[in-house]
Amino acid sequence: MTVMKKVLFFLLVSAIVITSQAQLGLTAGGNICKWRGNNFTETSGFTGYNFGAYGNVKLNSKLSIQSEVTFSQEGAKDRFMLYTVKLDYLNLTELLRYNEKCGFYAGTGPQLGLYLYGQGTQYGVSKYIKDEFKLSNFSWAFATGYDMKIGIGIYARYNVGFANIAAKRGETIMEDIFQAGLRYNFKTKLK
C-alpha cells in the first residue's frame, strides 16, 4: 500500500468512526450582515440566508466539538439603497461547545469562509464582482442554542470578522454577521 492510499484509508476509517459517534444534523436560517472598514460608514444591515450540516462529537458529559459546513449569503447595502453587494460563502466552522443536560448549549470557535460568488447592484444594474474580494475570510463565532429531545432546535450566533476581505489595495472590509435559525438533529443523545 502506498503512503497516499494509507492516508486515504486512515481518513475514511476516521470519518466512519466520527460519524458513528456524532450527533448529525441540518441547519437553516437568516443572516444580518454589517461591514466595517475605511469606505463603509454608510452601510446598513444586509439580510441573507444560510443552510448547512453539522456533526457534534462529545468529549465528555459537558463538552463537545461541533464541525459545520454552511452555505451563507452575506454582503452589504448602503443606507440610501443605491447599491447592494451579495457574496456567497462556504463556511467551515469548528465550535467548542458547553452543553447542559436540558438541551441548552453555548460554543465558540474559528470559522473559515471560502468565497464562491459575488454580485453587485447599483442603480438597478447588476455585475459580477468576484475579483473585488479575497478568496477567503476568517472570523470567530459565538453560538448558543437549544436542542429539544425530539430533534428540533433553535440557534443564534454572532460571527466577528477578523480578515480584510477587500482585494483592492488600500481598502479595508471586515464583516460581522448575526445568524439565527432552526436545527434538526438526526441522532439525538441528550442525557
- At residue 36, the pLDDT reads 84
Average pLDDT, the chain: 84
In a domain, 13, yes or no: yes
**Residue range of the domain that includes 13:** 3-185
Q: Hey, what's the cell of 21? A: 459517534
In a domain, 112, yes or no: yes
- φ, ψ of residue 26 to 5 degrees: the values are -120, 150
CATH, residue 142: 2.40.160.20
Is a pLDDT exceeding 70 seen at residue 14? no
- At residue 169, the pLDDT reads 79
Q: Hey, what's the cell of 153? A: 432546535
Instruction: Check residues 174 and 81 and name the one with the higher pLDDT.
Output: 174
User: Of 65, 21, 13, 41, nearest to 187 (Cα)?
Assistant: 21
* CA dist 136 → 78, 105, 151 (Å): 23, 28, 33
* Mean pLDDT comparison of 13-22, 30-39, 121-130, highest-scoring range: 30-39
pLDDT digits (tens, 9 = 90+) for 50-99: 999 999 988 898 999 999 999 999 988 876 667 788 999 999 999 999 99
> Domain total for the chain?
1
Output the CA torsion sign for 63, 9, 113, 153: negative
Q: Identify the three-state secondary structure at position 77.
A: strand
User: Of 87, 77, 72, 80, nearest to 178 (Cα)?
Assistant: 72
Question: E strands along 38-172, which residues?
Answer: 43-44, 46-58, 63-78, 83-99, 104-122, 125-128, 136-147, 152-161
In a domain, 191, yes or no: no
Tell me the whole-structure pTM to 2 decimals.
0.82
DSSP per-residue string spanning 170-188: T--EEEEEEEEEEEEESS-
Calculated CA dihedral for residues 87, 93, 98, 103, nearest 10 degrees:
60
In a domain, 68, yes or no: yes
DSSP per-residue string spanning 36-69: EETT-TTEE-EEEEEEEEEEEEESSSSEEEEEEE
Q: How far apart are CA 14 and CA 28, in angstroms?
A: 27
- At residue 68, the pLDDT reads 92
In a domain, 190, yes or no: no
